[in-house]
Amino acid sequence: MSNIPLNQLEAWRAAQLLARREILAVDLARACLDRVSERDGELHAFVHIEPDTVLAQARALDAGPVRGPLHGLPLGVKDLFDTVDLPTAYGSPIYAVNRPAADAASVALCREAGALVLGKTVTTEFAYFHPGPTRNPHDLRHTPGGSSSGSAAAVADHMLPLALGTQTAGSIVRPAAYCGVVGYKPSAGLVPRAGVKSLSEALDTVGSFGRSVRDAALLGAVLTGDARLGALAALAAPRIGLCRTPDWSQADADTQQAFERASTVLAPLAAILQDAAWPIDLPDLVVLQKAVMSYEMSRALSHERVRHRELLSQPMRAMMDEGRAISGQVHASNLAITAAAQLSADAMFAQFDVLIAPSSTGEAPLGIAATGDPLFCRGWTLLGLPCVHLPFATGRHGLPVGLQLVGRRGDDYRLLAVAQWVHERLLG
């Protein structure tokens, strides 16, 4: 066994050692909890954590049979997911004392597979823009991104190897990019959202954070029910499309350099690497995503909007007012336009296994009063396509920079296998 501290082990490696009882879940949990004690006073990744309960659950895992592929692995759970044994506030004072009656389905699936819930991680208010207190572990003056702020920061800071997040606009890929970890947003429809606070049914997606593609995919296997994700095979050279998107001018020099570097490194190795043409019949996906999101959030959060308006942030109220100005008739039309756009976008994958695209406009912005811009994620989320953020570079302020790979809907296995192949070469 290696000499690397337990809390720094990758999840897949820890899982092997745990399954062979070469390390104990309680020791791994203690190493993670020690890291939290040491660091979370300034990082603020966690909103709730009960160390004694965690250690007791870890001992129970050590004493029992190996439950599944996540046996004994500490897991961070974004506080947008219901947990039966921990308070769940959804980032809102409205739910300050909320105790759910059940685990979210995805949390229950992870626990069934042996995961050890270490604590609840900070989310922005109902996973929208009003930030929590979390800071970027690479530079505390910067935002970790949002809305899955605590999950991304905790994984990046070696507080735990795996965490759950959700993406409605860019809430997995953006914080993964800002914190320099791998974030995986599965294809729409694969992971149950039961027990996750619902914002937009057309958009909300449950996904995973890890420090490697293999780790994010290990958790993804349990979430999607596709066991192949837990054992990504070596691949023949993939066909890669370079997709700068219509918003390329918003990508700063760091992001553009990362893109060019990936292109240069991968060109001689890929089976195909060429520019992917943006389908000319696609509508403005960013505008459309905003309309779908504001309409659906203003309705999904009707209870809060009607009964607790004074406890909603100003940006949330403003967004809901925008949504309320859209009629159901227009929304039905927006959903139909979205369905047609999904068909158009699918055509890009006749030529390519994956697309490479920007994850964010650049490094994590300075300050924690805002969580950055999900511009480069909105369209892919609307299209329901699986995305993986790969960190591999550093920007002008020394903060992480990377890119996302986008796959064909439903073909998450291929996306992740290619992502592993690409990541190895970009890091190599």
| DSSP H or E segment with residue 383 | helix 375-383
Say if residue 333 is exposed, middle or buried (CB neighbours under 10 Å; 0-12, 13-18, 19+): exposed
Closest CA to 405 of 361, 341, 352, 364: 352
Known catalytic residue at 78: yes
DSSP string, 71-117: TT-EEEEETTB--SSS---TTSGGGTT---SS--HHHHHHHHTT-EE
Indicate the residue among 4 and 102 with the shorter CB distance to its own copies. Answer: 102
* Neighbouring C-beta atoms of residue 309, cutoff 10 Å: 11
Radius of gyration of the chain (CA): 20
Known catalytic residue at 197: no
Beta bridge partners, 185, equal 387
Distance, in Å, from the CA atom of 337 to the CA atom of 320, rounded to the nearest integer, reads 22
Nearest approach, Cβ of residue 101 and its own copies (Å):
5
Distance, in Å, from the CA atom of 281 to the CA atom of 372, rounded to the nearest integer, reads 29
Indicate the residue among 108 and 265 with the shorter CB distance to its own copies. Answer: 108
Nearest approach, Cβ of residue 104 and its own copies (Å):
8
Indicate the residue among 132 and 410 with the shorter CB distance to its own copies. Answer: 410
| DSSP H or E segment with residue 61 | helix 51-63
Nearest approach, Cβ of residue 186 and its own copies (Å):
10
Known catalytic residue at 290: no
Single out the catalytic residue among 151, 171, 294, 360: 171
Q: Which amino acid is at 399?
A: L
Q: Which residues bind its own copies (CB under 8 A)?
A: 84, 95, 98, 100-105, 107-109, 111-112, 187, 189-190, 192-195, 197-198, 201-202, 221, 224-228, 295-296, 299-307, 327-329, 331-333, 335-336, 409-413
Indicate the residue among 181 and 385 with the shorter CB distance to its own copies. Answer: 385
Indicate the residue among 101 and 350 with the shorter CB distance to its own copies. Answer: 101
User: Which residue numbers are catalytic?
Assistant: 78, 147, 171
